[in-house]
Structure 1
Amino acid sequence: MARAIHVFRTPDRFIAGTVGEPGDRVFYLQAVHESRVVSVLLEKQQVQILADRMGLLLEEVQRRFGTVIPDDPQVDVSPLVTPIEAEFRVGTMGLGWDADAGSVVVELLAVTDTELDESVVLDDTEEGPDAVRVFLTPVQAREFAARSELVVSAGRAPCPLCGEPIGADGHICVRTNGYLRTPGFDPAAWFGEEES
């Protein structure tokens, strides 16, 4: 069966979003152009990596090509378009700069059991995993990175001792020899330190 490649050359939106409560969130990327919507499922870490790498790519594009990149982008805070039906779970991600179009190119490829040849990324070959390819202006890319940072950081607060996320019921903290930590835990009181 031939692979499906969903291409968005001029998307109205390309955003990261979640469904669910912190600690139990499902992460999606969604590309929208007029009435066409494609959503893919991925991990929180993949969203963070894509946002970080996009920021680095934009810095390099600005340095090498003099492309103007906005410092304070408008962040799209609207929710994902519903109903959300994921096309696939993201396995491999590709990121590049199309100098001719002046666009950041994002490619998201479906998880596959077979080893992936790098030549499949950002290519229209007949064989390979399904993909979503999105072309973003530098402004859209900066907006995507800014929103992604907000989405990732909106999860559970980290434990001040071990850095692991604290759930609604607390968590088992390795720094307190496994005692259950509750969300309102004060490490200064635990260790007898005086607050300054």
Structure 2
Amino acid sequence: MHTRVHEFSWPDRVVVGAIGLPGARTFYLQVRAGTQIVSIALEKQQSALLAENIDEILDQLITVKGNPFSVPTGTPVELVDNDPLEAVQEQFRAGAMSLGWDPSTAQIVIEAHPLADDEFDPDPDPDPDDESFDEDGAIESEMLLVRMPVGTARAFAKRTREIVAAGRPMCPLCGFPMDADGHICTLPEV
């Protein structure tokens, strides 16, 4: 089995966006370099944790004594990206993800692997034109590897937090999300 790596070392754009109405949104991590675009589906919680952990890494770098990297404390205004997602063609749904720091390039590194499918039953007659199979008929796994500079990472985290927060409003009484078509408030007993 081979792993197809979608690698972006200096992407032109890396964002999280959502498609759909609040309460039924699908979140995507989308990366573009030139004409190459990869979109992977994320859970809302994965998106929120990704933004939170990126900010934590950047905040820790600021406190390192003798840090040679210029890490912005806020989002550089020239890197703000409020544009919608480009044409989305889902590559895979993210399962395991990792986040790191590469000091040799001063970049945040995101690695995403597809959601494991425990119920996968390989097709005994693979379609040779299906790109998910290699030349020997073995199933290829995929992986997204994104490296982004610190300013881009700050802008990415800010936008992601805003996208996540733009969901359904919370009920001020019970604290549960309110749907557009109504809300039955279940107040805790006193």
Q: TM-score, normalised by structure 1?
A: 0.78
CA distance in structure 1 between the aligned counterparts of 2:76 and 2:172, rounded to whole angstroms: 31
1:78 aligns with 2:80: no
CA distance in structure 2 between the aligned counterparts of 1:89 and 1:155, rounded to whole angstroms: 20
CA distance in structure 2 between the aligned counterparts of 1:73 and 1:170, rounded to whole angstroms: 39
CA distance in structure 1 between the aligned counterparts of 2:37 and 2:61, rounded to whole angstroms: 29
* 1:113-152 → structure 2 map (5 Å cutoff): 113=117, 129-152=141-164
CA distance in structure 1 between the aligned counterparts of 2:15 and 2:84, rounded to whole angstroms: 9
Moved over 3 A (4+): none
Identity of matched residues, %: 39
CA distance in structure 1 between the aligned counterparts of 2:167 and 2:68, rounded to whole angstroms: 36
Q: How many Å apart are 1:170 and its aligned residue?
A: 1.9
Cα pair 1:16 1:30 within 8 Å, conserved: yes
Q: How many correspondences in the alignment?
A: 164
Alignment correspondent of 2:102: 98
Q: How many Å apart are 1:67 and its aligned residue?
A: 2.5
* 1:1-196 → structure 2 map (5 Å cutoff): 1-64=1-64, 65-70=67-72, 71-74=74-77, 75-82=80-87, 84-113=88-117, 129-175=141-187
Alignment correspondent of 2:126: none
Residue 175 and residue 66 in structure 1: after superposition, are their counterparts in 2 closer, same or farther (change >3 A)? farther
CA distance in structure 2 between the aligned counterparts of 1:146 and 1:73, rounded to whole angstroms: 10
Q: Which blocks of at least 5 consecutive residues in structure 1 are unaligned? A: 115-126, 178-196
Q: Secondary structure at the match of 1:14?
A: strand
Q: Which blocks of at least 5 consecutive residues in structure 2 are unaligned? A: 119-138
Q: Secondary structure at the match of 2:178?
A: coil
> AA paired with 2:5?
I
Cα pair 1:94 1:107 within 8 Å, conserved: yes
CA distance in structure 1 between the aligned counterparts of 2:110 and 2:59, rounded to whole angstroms: 16
